[in-house]
């Protein structure tokens, strides 16, 4: 699915530059913009209005096992934009410029507890998080005019946040996740939601998390095929 | 700061932002330790009719000022690293400023420093 945005200037210039640079090297062919910075796109594409943004921008990277893929030095692309690489305590490499941080996440398979995933295709490291494949599996492309950005469908973003909110250790992040969900819930497409929910194979723990989040935002769990 | 106190989403975001800034500042300060500091200077020496030049790195180590000779083949690398250090220092200043501002906003600031606020 591709949506052409009427208002192309939904991001501040520094974010536009970053997204355009990522697009130019083919990053959005498979990988996505995620986190609170998808909201300006959702506002234009789906009428979802959520104004709060964080000072970090997150990208979900598709993890490729094959070494045959063409390799791109995304770290160089980011550094050329004036960011500096910083190795965090966990070993993850993030990038910062004027308090603004660029970071990557990748899908974490169940049972693994690695702290870092090295993505050789892009010469970056990513933080492994659960259920990222849900975002990668249901995405759309936003046409920004001079470039395009791939982001998760709101329905996938919504379900992902509902599940992960309950796993948050920080109450602030949990509240923000559920706050975003309560706004997105008003604009969900029932058919797309059915497709996303139909793809899920959830453990009892994850189902419990979904139910708990539904209760907080007053969303009927039946719409997620939960009893 | 009534909005911060009343709205738990905004308050939570500000606390998260404070924590993020502190983590980033700690990592930046760790990273900068590995980058050489000081300034690179060129010294010229006359010997008989010829003029020779060499580079040295001048930096402070506690109360001592140290001048370290830099071989010609390492000059470019040192210059690049000193430039990088400037960027790190600028970023560190910017994070310190932001942390101080966020501490005021969240009203959890303590005079003792920047590293312990979010752990409360």
Extents of the domains making up chain B: 2-106
Mean of all residue pLDDT scores within chain A: 89
Using the beta-carbon criterion (under 8 Å), do B30 and A87 form an inter-chain contact? yes
The pLDDT assigned to B112 comes to 45
B20 and chain A in contact, CB less than 8 A: yes
Burial class (CB in 10 A: 0-12, 13-18, 19+), A187: middle
Measure CB to CB from residue A54 to each of B13, B30, B87 and give the nearest one.
B13
Using the beta-carbon criterion (under 8 Å), do A176 and B12 form an inter-chain contact? yes
Angle at A188 between CA A186 and CA A194, to 5 degrees: 140
Answer yes or no: are the C-beta atoms of A82 and A106 closer than 8 Å. no
Using the beta-carbon criterion (under 8 Å), do A179 and B9 form an inter-chain contact? yes
Over residues A138-158, the mean pLDDT reads 94
> Is the model's pTM score more than 0.80?
yes
- Checking ipTM against 0.90, whether it exceeds it is no
For CA atoms A173, A177, A178, A182, the dihedral sign is: positive
B13 and chain A in contact, CB less than 8 A: yes
Answer yes or no: are the C-beta atoms of A158 and A184 closer than 8 Å. yes
Find the residue in B nearest to A177 (Cα).
Answer: B9
CA distances from A191 to A135, B43, B116 (A): 17, 74, 48
pLDDT digits (tens, 9 = 90+) for A52-88: 888 999 999 987 766 667 788 999 999 999 999 999 9
Please give the backbone phi and psi of residue B110, each rounded to the nearest 5 degrees, phi first.
-125, 150
Distance CA A225, CA A14 (A): 41
């Amino acid at each position: 699915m591709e949506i052409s945005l009427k208002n192309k200037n939904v991001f501040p210039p520094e974010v536009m530059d970053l997204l355009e640079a990522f697009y130019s090297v083919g990053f959005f062919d498979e990988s996505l913009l995620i986190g609170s910075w998808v909201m300006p796109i959702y506002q234009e594409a789906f009428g979802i209005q959520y104004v709060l943004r964080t000072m970090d921008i997150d990208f979900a990277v598709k993890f490729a096992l094959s070494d045959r893929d063409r390799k791109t030095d995304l770290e160089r692309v980011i550094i050329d934009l004036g960011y500096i690489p910083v190795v965090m305590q966990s070993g993850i490499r993030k990038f910062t410029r004027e308090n603004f941080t660029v970071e990557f996440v990748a899908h974490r398979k169940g049972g693994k507890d690695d702290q870092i995933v090295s993505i050789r295709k892009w010469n970056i490291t990513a933080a492994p998080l659960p259920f990222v494949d849900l975002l990668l599996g249901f995405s759309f492309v936003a046409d920004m005019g001079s470039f395009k950005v791939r982001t998760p469908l709101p329905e996938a973003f919504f379900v992902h946040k509902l599940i992960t909110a309950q796993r948050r250790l920080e109450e602030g992040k949990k509240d923000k996740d559920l706050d975003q969900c309560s706004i997105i819930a008003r604009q969900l497409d029932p058919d797309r939601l059915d497709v996303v929910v139909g793809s899920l194979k959830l453990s009892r723990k994850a189902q419990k998390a979904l139910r708990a989040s539904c209760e907080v935002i007053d969303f009927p769990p039946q719409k997620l095929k939960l009893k | 700061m009534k909005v911060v106190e009343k709205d738990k989403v905004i308050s939570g975001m500000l606390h998260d932002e404070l924590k993020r800034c502190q983590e980033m500042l700690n990592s930046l300060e760790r990273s900068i330790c590995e980058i050489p500091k000081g300034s690179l200077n060129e010294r010229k020496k006359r010997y008989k009719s010829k003029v020779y030049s060499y580079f040295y790195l001048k930096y402070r180590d506690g109360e001592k000022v140290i001048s370290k000779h830099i071989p010609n083949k390492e000059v470019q690398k040192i210059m690049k690293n000193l430039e990088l250090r400037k960027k790190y220092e600028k970023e560190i200043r910017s994070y310190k400023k932001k942390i101080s501002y966020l501490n005021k906003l969240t009203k959890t600031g303590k005079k003792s420093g920047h590293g312990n606020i979010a752990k409360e």
